[in-house]
Amino acid sequence: MTTSPEPASGQSPGPPAPDVDVLVVGAGITGIYQLYRAREAGFSVQLVEAGDGVGGTWYWNRYPGARFDSESYTYAFLFSRELFDEWEWQEHFAGQPEIERYLNHVVDRFDLRRHMRFGAKVTSATYDEPSGTWRVVTGDGGEVRTRVLVAATGVLSVPYFPDVPGREDFRGESYHTGLWPTTPVDFAGKRVAVIGTGSSGVQLIPVIAGEVASLTVYQRTANWCTPLNNAPIAPDEQAKLRADFDAMCETLNTSPAGFLHGAHDRATYDDPEEERLAFFEQMWNSPGFSKLISHYTDLMVDPAANAEWCEFLAGKVRGIVRDPATAEKLIPKDHRFAEKRPPFVHGYYEAFNLPDVMLVDLKETPILRVTPSGIETAEGIREFDIVVWATGFDFGTGALLRMGIRGRDGLALADDWADGPRTFLGVQTAGFPNLFFPGGPHAAAGNNPRYNGDQVDFVTETIVYVRDHGYDTVEVGREAQERWTSMVDRNASKSNFGEISYYFGTNIPGKPRKYLLNSGGRPKLFAMIAEVLQSDYAAFRMSRSSDRSTDRSTDRSTDLTGTSA
Ligand SMILES: Cc1cc2nc3c(=O)[nH]c(=O)nc-3n(C[C@H](O)[C@H](O)[C@H](O)COP(=O)(O)OP(=O)(O)OC[C@H]3O[C@@H](n4cnc5c(N)ncnc54)[C@H](O)[C@@H]3O)c2cc1C
């Protein structure tokens, strides 16, 4: 990765020189880490971000109740012991304000802000073959020519609004949870509708339920919600976290899903019924994702075991929600536990016991239209002051396909991926040299920063390798890409998540039904990265500008011998 020299006077100008070695798009946790790593590796770096501040998900999703489902200290950056020691998380599962403060602290602590430009949405990124650079145009009128383009644009960063007639006609206040304004919304005494009961809706609903004049919840699909079981971090726990830092990193850096929760050692029917129920109760009272990771080992593979846990959960809902008809509507009937991403809650089911909280089941009475003053279903019209769309995101590929990316020979990424993404390791795609997208489609599932961080580490190692070997472009070969992509597609049916899940793009009309996570998980990613390094990047094609002018690129992609994928 060398910057092209200025032409000597009298010579015809060579290909345009890049302004920077690396341009990162997105100031979420992945982009911040990529900026840090690339700068530490000696590259000149800039970062552009569509929003007006740092945080990505934690900048946009500032709705009341937004908080982690990952334990705060396991989500945090682990690259600096000093950083870990100096930031005291207040809660095991921090709320959005604390997370946003933390990410801003990191940016300032490592002097990263001066490399960042906000309010700069990338509208096009075009690869220029002769110079081996990307020309990136932003909506604020900016243009940057970069050698390497890292799109850390997130998998949950394009909010989705269902196509409901009249949505634009509503004259009250209207919000999407993923585009929440920076000035607080005043819910006091208002008639509020919340559409959607996924992870965001179920966080918001209990927080505003006691404040509003009335709350109507429009539910398309009931979810298996279980308690988050959050708590403040006590002083002795703070001390233990610090004392155990190295052991914690070891666990997080090797755990398949990037969590501290350990696997259980028993299957459901190893225990007699009484012990099973006691264990279910223990799970109900355990924190966050331990309900998946530390549950009976056969929970996700034995339908009878899963059904028994679901029956236990249904009993909990019936025990909490006083109105039996409402309780039945809140109990999923169309999917097993963890077939969709299970939300974690605090006081969600209890909210339906408040006098002015109502549930509308959209399977029985779909929304016909939004009117200027409310929402009409087959039941009639309800009038509202505020409508909140908690209707999710265009997961996985949403942001990348909206960036106007064009690679070799003008190939549009949106066309190339018309039938679904094709990647190698979820970081590169053939035909788009020097473009990387850590934290994008085909990343693993679990605690995001851990596996997105693995990908950033790999991207950084790769561009250092390219630079140190005197090349300036790198592009994965098609063979390696097809093998990785077929592994993802082939194993999709083995995933816990079913096609009902947004992880298959099912929530977006017309989107190809492709699994958008890496179904091999982190272990497959680690195995494949090891193979890439061992084979000296045999799966990649590298070139330098002098070679490109004479077509002598080093194409070693046919040499790939690995079999891990
Ligand atoms: C409400 C909510 C709660 C979540 N909770 C958890 C959790 O507890 N644990 C967990 O592991 N994960 C959680 N997630 C997933 C979360 O998205 C990831 O943890 C993490 O934020 C991903 O970071 P990122 O930097 O890859 O992407 P993001 O945080 O999404 O950041 C991407 C950034 O790229 C910017 N961008 C996109 N396109 C462009 C463009 N064309 N030009 C310029 N900028 C652009 C966006 O504006 C955004 O700021 C949650 C997601 C949501 C929505």
- Per residue in 24-60, pLDDT (tens digit) is 999 999 999 999 999 999 999 999 999 999 999 999 9
- DSSP bridge pairs for 24: 47, 150
* Higher local confidence (pLDDT), 443 or 551: 443
pLDDT for residue 547: 77
- Per residue in 296-323, pLDDT (tens digit) is 999 988 999 999 999 999 999 999 999 9
Give the CA distances from residue 176 to residues 37, 188, 262, in Å, rounded to whole numbers and listed in that order.
33, 18, 36
| For residue 494, pLDDT beyond 80 | no
Determine the average pLDDT of the residues in 251-279.
96
Q: Report residue 11's pLDDT band, with 50, 70 and 90 as the boundaries.
A: low
Please state, for a pLDDT cut of 70, what percent of the chain lies above it. Answer: 94
Probe target for ligand 1 pocket from 200, 291, 448, with the most ligand atoms within 8 Å of CB: 448
Determine the average pLDDT of the residues in 109-127.
98
pLDDT for residue 340: 85
For the Cβ of 50 lying below 6 angstroms from any atom of ligand 1, the answer is yes
H/E element, 373: none
Which residue intervals of 469-495 are DSSP H helices? Answer: 478-491
Count the neighbouring beta carbons within 10 Å of the beta carbon of residue 187. Answer: 21
Q: Are 124 and 136 in contact (CB under 8 A)?
A: yes
Q: Are 339 and 500 in contact (CB under 8 A)?
A: yes
- Per residue in 203-224, pLDDT (tens digit) is 999 999 999 999 999 999 999 9
pLDDT for residue 521: 83
Give residue 532 CA to ligand 1 midpoint distance, Å.
28
| For residue 516, pLDDT beyond 90 | no
pLDDT for residue 499: 74
pLDDT for residue 5: 41
| Token reading at 272 | 């007699």
pLDDT for residue 550: 56
| CA–CA dist 289, 259 (Å, integer) | 8
Please return the burial class of 9, using the count of CB atoms within 10 Å of its CB with bins 0-12, 13-18 and 19+.
exposed
pLDDT for residue 500: 74
pLDDT for residue 518: 84
| CA–CA dist 405, 400 (Å, integer) | 8
Q: Report residue 86's pLDDT band, with 50, 70 and 90 as the boundaries.
A: very high
Give residue 440 CA to ligand 1 midpoint distance, Å.
10
pTM of the predicted protein model: 0.95
pLDDT for residue 12: 58
Q: Determine the angle formed by the axes of helices 29-40 and 448-468, rounding to 10 degrees.
A: 30
Which residue intervals of 197-234 are DSSP H helices? Answer: 199-209
| Token reading at 170 | 């509503």
For the Cβ of 452 lying below 6 angstroms from any atom of ligand 1, the answer is yes
The alpha-carbon radius of gyration of the chain (Å, integer) is: 25
227, amino acid identity:
P
Atom of ligand 1 lying closest to residue 93 CA: 8
Report DSSP letters for 97-142, one per residue: HHHHHHHHHHHHHTT-GGGEE-S--EEEEEEETTTTEEEEEETTS-
| CA–CA dist 439, 37 (Å, integer) | 15
- Per residue in 379-416, pLDDT (tens digit) is 999 999 999 999 999 999 999 999 999 999 999 999 99
Give the CA distances from residue 18 to residues 86, 428, 484, 549, in Å, rounded to whole numbers and listed in that order.
38, 21, 31, 17
| For residue 128, pLDDT beyond 70 | yes
- Using DSSP's 3-state secondary structure scheme, residue 320 falls into helix
Atom of ligand 1 lying closest to residue 403 CA: 41
| Token reading at 89 | 């998380």
What is the pairing mode between strands 45-48 and 116-117? parallel
- Per residue in 170-205, pLDDT (tens digit) is 999 999 999 999 999 999 999 999 999 999 999 999
| For residue 563, pLDDT beyond 60 | no
For the Cβ of 222 lying below 6 angstroms from any atom of ligand 1, the answer is no
Count the neighbouring beta carbons within 10 Å of the beta carbon of residue 61. Answer: 26
